[in-house]
Amino acid sequence: MSQRKVISLDDLRVACRNCSLTSLCLPMGLAPEDIERLDEIVKRNRPLHRGDFLFREGDRFRSLFVVKTGSVKTFAPSPEGGEQVLGFHLPGEVIGLDAIDKDAHACSAKVLETSAICEIPFARLEELTMSIPSLQHQMYRLLSKEIGQDTELLLLLGKKNAEERLAAFLLSLSKRLHKRGLSATDFYLSMSRHEIGNYLGLAVETVSRLFTRFQDDGLMRVDRKHIQIIDQDALEALVGGIGQHRRQQQQS
């Protein structure tokens, strides 16, 4: 991944004293005193519970949030009362980057289960990046990465069928959990089928049927929120689009 020959992500995750900072100081050669300075501006709030809001759409933007443990969903309430789930955020992931532009949150963030969340006042972080080049670069990377992830999801929604979407979703969860040292093959979903469907652009019933099918096909075991992935390769194959999708391929 990292082209510039620096410390690997995993090395640095350990080096970071506060796990909530890993996302920010991952792949850069931050001097210990710089890590110290970064560490000082981070607020460690008391644990939040299911249903608590980190922020709501329209709130003034003050801080970025980093999930330490637990999970958070971000969503855009739509005028008609519904909502569009924009993402699920697992430990180590940063929330709120989309609010910098307008200086206000464009979406809401709600805690899915009891979670520890760190808060990083953006104004102070921005000051800090002015004097620590590698931290500034890391911020650019963080923002850029978010764009790349959105792009992937975009591809998912534009081109993949229901099966491929759910498979991709599960693999994404699996990989992200694994990156944080949790099991990649045995985990609990903190979101409802409804939320999964909303996120993937599918009806609840479709999601439910697919879980059943995946289990019947021996790809995984599903017991309510408990997921055990049995055949990861088969899942990857589903996503990769081995199966014939729709058309939608052509050039200029």
Partner DNA sequence: CGAACGGTTGATACGGCTCAAGTCTGGTGG
Partner DNA sequence: CCACCAGACTTGAGCCGTATCAACCGTTCG
| Residue 88 in contact with DNA, rule: CB under 7 A | no
Nearer to its own copies (CB atom), residue 36 or residue 150: 150
Residue 146 or 186 having the CB closest to its own copies: 146
Query: What residue spans of the chain are helical by DSSP H?
Result: 9-15, 22-25, 32-41, 122-131, 133-159, 162-179, 193-200, 204-216, 232-240
How many other CB atoms are there within 10 angstroms of residue 249's CB atom? 7
Query: Rounded to whole angstroms, how far apart are CA atoms 108 and 103?
Result: 14
Please state the closest distance from residue 189 (CB atom) to its own copies, in A.
Answer: 13
Residue 131 engages DNA in binding (rule: CB under 7 A): no
By a kind-dependent CB cut-off of 5 to 8 A, residue 119 interacts, out of its own copies, DNA, none, with none
Q: How far is the CB of 193 from DNA (least distance, A)?
A: 3
Of 38 and 196, CB closest to DNA: 196
Task: In angstroms, give the least distance from the CB of 71 to DNA.
Answer: 14
CB of 216 to its own copies, least distance (A): 26
Q: Which residue has the tokens 């309510």?
A: 224
Residue 131 contacts by C-beta under 8 Å, 6 or more apart in sequence? none
Contact 228, 186 (CB under 8 A): yes
177-236 positions binding DNA, by CB under 7 A: 192-194, 201-209, 211-212, 222, 224-225
What letter would DSSP give residue 99?
G
201: which 2 tokens?
Answer: 């652009």
Cβ proximity to its own copies: between 39 and 113 the closer is 113
**Which residue of 131, 161, 183, 228 would you call a contact of DNA, by CB under 7 A?**
161
